[in-house]
Structure 1
Amino acid sequence: MLAAPIVQARNGYTVAGIAGLSLLGLLAGGLAIRAFAPLEDWVYTHWLFNYEFGLVKRGLAGQLLSALGVSTDYQTVGVISIAISTVLSALLLGLFSVDFIRRPSMAAWLFAAFWLAHPGTLQHAYFDVGRFDTIGVLLMLLAALFIRTSTKYQALFAVLLIGIFQVLFHEANFLMFMPLMLAMWLFKQRSSLMRSDVIAACVVLGVVIGFVCFMDTKTLSGRVGLDAYYAHLLSISDHAHPYSVYVLFKAVDSNLQSGLGRLISLYNAANVVYMGMALFLSFVLIARMLRVILFGGSSFLSILLVLSALSPLALSFIGFDYYRWWSVALMNLGVVVVFLAHEQGQVSELMAVVMQNRYWVVACLLLDLIVGPLGVMDSFQSFIPLWNFILSACGLAPYVP
């Protein structure tokens, strides 16, 4: 259909363009249904945190709901979480489809479909629904908008404010998005970058790091007991999760030893192999996209931008949600590919790579629809039933997460 001659529609757009966008919309909707998982109690409990006992880390979302008079019962938070994931999905659809919208082509459609269907992007937003990462991605996209449309220091001030809000929602958002936002700002100034700009960026980074350290001390220890606070949350909802409450009574350094131990375990190694098998084709395609962008525009700042997109992986040393970090990193990479291609005027070269590898892209699409979202603590959790069916058909023991 998309390869057919383009016929102009009455509104000036094309029949092929309308059909292609409709297919992308259907793909996004189908992926949302395929990947959706109900709001977990662990995640929901974070929406119950607020500032009733004083400033506390991860309390901004709950405080906003409280200030607006919105109920924090499980059903209401579930609806809000789905709405946030839907807004993010719509923005990702627009971001990855921007070149198809401007000039419909098979390459642009395949590019959009590849990134939309990837297990680490739209599917993750619906599988890990309610997580503050979703809000973090929305804030990162807002920062990118300021960077592309505002003056140099207006954009940097926006990055500073957004960075502080990122930390108020969740301190891990600093590592997930702050390096990327600053790298985008530096890259935008590449043609007139001065030493003072680098110093200004370092000052902003230092301020936000200081704020992260400050917020990490904002626990409830000494203000209210763990059991008393958990009982208080249970009076609001019986979905309150006890271990989720525990995060408000400890600092991040307590996660280092346990996080590293699980990272290097044989159990996690099996998950990494599992992920590698499922995503091998897509990793190769992403590498080819990055190669043409990096070596076509070739600058230290473009390499820095790509590396900054991978900053969520650093959280693997302090948190068990390894495949959540991978998902956010892959979502960041998708944003970077679009950002770099447009900033460096390499859209046509990028689309040429897609067309050269079109059969691989189609294979990735089919595989992504089968395996589903990347997962959180275990890779491809939603695919485990089908994987076990295949193992049992081969006479092998089932995979137990």
Structure 2
Amino acid sequence: MDKKSNSQAIKKQTTKFFIASSVIILIVLARSNPLLFKDGTSYVSNWRYTHYLFNYDDEFVKRGFIGELISLFSNHISYAQVSFFSYIALSILFFCFFYFFSKPYFYYGKRLGAFFLMIFASTSPATLQHFALDVGRFDVIIYSIFILLILIINSFSKKSTFTTFIIINLGLFLSVLVHEAAFFMTLPLSIVFWNYIDHSKKGFTLQIISFTFILFLTYFISTRGEYTSLDFESHLEKLKTIYGDRVIDDSLSVIHHTSIKENLNLTMQVGINLNRLLHHIIFAFFMLPFFYLIYKLYLSVKSQLNFRIGFILLSALSPLALYPLGYDHFRWWSLAITNFIISIFFIILQDNIIRDNVLSFFEDREKLIAFVVFIGFISGPLGVIESFDFIEYIVRGVKYFS
């Protein structure tokens, strides 16, 4: 095949890949945000909108960074502005995910297994579907930063340890300013990924310094980020006077009641009940095909796994450490599963033998993958305090006809 024919073949394959990716994005959005397509309804909740009203006008408060940035360009942060910003942020996250998920496909011979792996990763109820349903939450921004950090770690960690140190600390610093829970969401994997590539004595020392710095910063934000200029009732009344009934008291309370004890008590009160147990059972049932596939994948590569790779996969589960601190239990599961999938991609980009085994595994199991993807679209996105949205529709229907 001459160079011109080869170039045309590559261009044709690339075009097909991007068309397939675009179709996946549309399907994910249609499943997660159906009313957006039906009548333009935004899925940014009033609870999430209220968070964008936090800023540093009166004092430093936790989760006020994004509101402060937007306030630089607008004196009155409207719901329409927040919705526009949120969907732009979601688009950036989608782009980052697909750019990262496409690397095994484009870098290693455009193998079919890499394409199946990308479909498996991008259609999971816990990844893009979840982020689309939860659009407007700061997790979307944090995970965009996280993927950029992974790409930077891959590109710079072997070239310049100090440059990597500066960029990673800047990214993690911004992440915990956006939301202090980023310490549990993305910091462990960021440090472990960095250590996997650069485990030199100098690199390890800088990684310990980075972890300590972000730990201190997270503690400072969590303990010193409470709003004290006004009491809760006065603050709520002030915001409602300016922004109307979209201001939600429960959302505002997160910067007025910030102690660990208060969070633990709230989780105990709201997060432990029969309804929550039912949602956990439903979650386990509909995610069973996904977990089965992961188990079969583990069996196919376990002989190539070592302690360092095992530590990566264990670190991926760090969002679950937030279980007692916040009753957004299915949000923590979504982020943990997202981290686990990201870890798989990171590992196969680093290890040739594992990569070949993983891609061969996906090439040999088209029916299982198709079944997992199908169930993922049937169940729909993982929620935040509820497992899957269709369960609530069923409950409402039963109540309506009973």
Q: TM-score higher than 0.5 here?
A: yes
Aligned equivalent of 2:256, options 249, 258, 267:
249
**Residue 3 of structure 1 corresponds to which residue in structure 2?**
none
**Residue 178 of structure 1 corresponds to which residue in structure 2?**
187
Within 1, Cα distance between the matches of 2:324 and 2:346?
29
The amino acid across from 2:96 in the alignment is L
SS at structure 1 position matched to 2:10: coil
* 1:325 is the counterpart of 2:341: no
Deviation at 1:205, TM superposition (A): 1.3
Aligned equivalent of 2:294, options 270, 286, 301:
286
**Residue 235 of structure 2 corresponds to which residue in structure 1?**
229
Q: TM-score, normalised by structure 1?
A: 0.88
Within 2, Cα distance between the matches of 1:388 and 1:246?
28
Superimposed CA distance per residue, residues 290-309 of structure 1 (whole angstroms, 9 cap, x where no aligned partner) = 4555642x332211111111
Runs of 5+ unmatched residues, structure 1: 1-6
Contact 1:233–1:240 (CA under 8 A) maintained in structure 2: yes
Within 1, Cα distance between the matches of 2:178 and 2:374?
35
Within 1, Cα distance between the matches of 2:115 and 2:228?
56
The within-5 A match list for 1:30-49 is 30-36=27-33, 38-49=43-54
Alpha-carbon distance change, 59 to 293 in structure 1, aligned in 2, over 3 angstroms: farther
Aligned equivalent of 2:342, options 335, 340, 344:
335
Contact 1:220–1:248 (CA under 8 A) maintained in structure 2: yes
SS at structure 2 position matched to 1:303: helix
Contact 1:312–1:328 (CA under 8 A) maintained in structure 2: yes
**Residue 155 of structure 2 corresponds to which residue in structure 1?**
149
Alpha-carbon distance change, 85 to 268 in structure 1, aligned in 2, over 3 angstroms: same
Deviation at 1:371, TM superposition (A): 1.1
Superimposed CA distance per residue, residues 135-163 of structure 1 (whole angstroms, 9 cap, x where no aligned partner) = 11011112112211112232123222222
Aligned equivalent of 1:268, options 268, 276, 284:
276
Deviation at 1:58, TM superposition (A): 0.4
Aligned equivalent of 1:52, options 46, 54, 57:
57
**Residue 75 of structure 1 corresponds to which residue in structure 2?**
80
**Residue 141 of structure 2 corresponds to which residue in structure 1?**
135
SS at structure 2 position matched to 1:57: coil
Within 2, Cα distance between the matches of 1:164 and 1:252?
21
Contact 2:116–2:369 (CA under 8 A) maintained in structure 1: yes
Alpha-carbon distance change, 45 to 338 in structure 1, aligned in 2, over 3 angstroms: same
Structural RMSD (CA): 2.4
Contact 1:289–1:353 (CA under 8 A) maintained in structure 2: yes
The amino acid across from 2:31 in the alignment is R
Within 1, Cα distance between the matches of 2:164 and 2:296?
31
**Residue 4 of structure 1 corresponds to which residue in structure 2?**
none
Deviation at 1:386, TM superposition (A): 5.5
Deviation at 1:226, TM superposition (A): 1.3
**Residue 378 of structure 1 corresponds to which residue in structure 2?**
386
Superimposed CA distance per residue, residues 5-40 of structure 1 (whole angstroms, 9 cap, x where no aligned partner) = xx9676341545533431232011111121026111
Within 2, Cα distance between the matches of 1:245 and 1:386?
31
Range that drifts further, 19-28 or 120-129? 19-28
* 1:355 is the counterpart of 2:367: no
Among all aligned residue pairs of Structure 1 and Structure 2, give the percentage whose two residues are the same amino acid.
23
The amino acid across from 1:244 in the alignment is S
Deviation at 1:213, TM superposition (A): 1.3
Deviation at 1:279, TM superposition (A): 0.8
Alpha-carbon distance change, 282 to 257 in structure 1, aligned in 2, over 3 angstroms: same
**Residue 306 of structure 1 corresponds to which residue in structure 2?**
313
Superimposed CA distance per residue, residues 141-195 of structure 1 (whole angstroms, 9 cap, x where no aligned partner) = 12112211112232123222222211111111111111111011111114xx33x
The within-5 A match list for 1:71-150 is 71-102=76-107, 103-150=109-156
Contact 2:55–2:65 (CA under 8 A) maintained in structure 1: yes
Aligned equivalent of 2:172, options 141, 163, 175:
163
* 1:315 is the counterpart of 2:286: no
Range that drifts further, 18-27 or 309-318? 18-27
Alpha-carbon distance change, 386 to 89 in structure 1, aligned in 2, over 3 angstroms: farther
Contact 2:96–2:148 (CA under 8 A) maintained in structure 1: no
Within 2, Cα distance between the matches of 1:153 and 1:289?
36
The amino acid across from 1:343 in the alignment is Q
Range that drifts further, 65-74 or 334-343? 65-74
The amino acid across from 2:217 in the alignment is F
Q: TM-score, normalised by structure 2?
A: 0.88
Contact 2:46–2:247 (CA under 8 A) maintained in structure 1: yes
Superimposed CA distance per residue, residues 233-289 of structure 1 (whole angstroms, 9 cap, x where no aligned partner) = 223322111111111112241111332455554332221110111111111222333
Contact 2:97–2:147 (CA under 8 A) maintained in structure 1: no
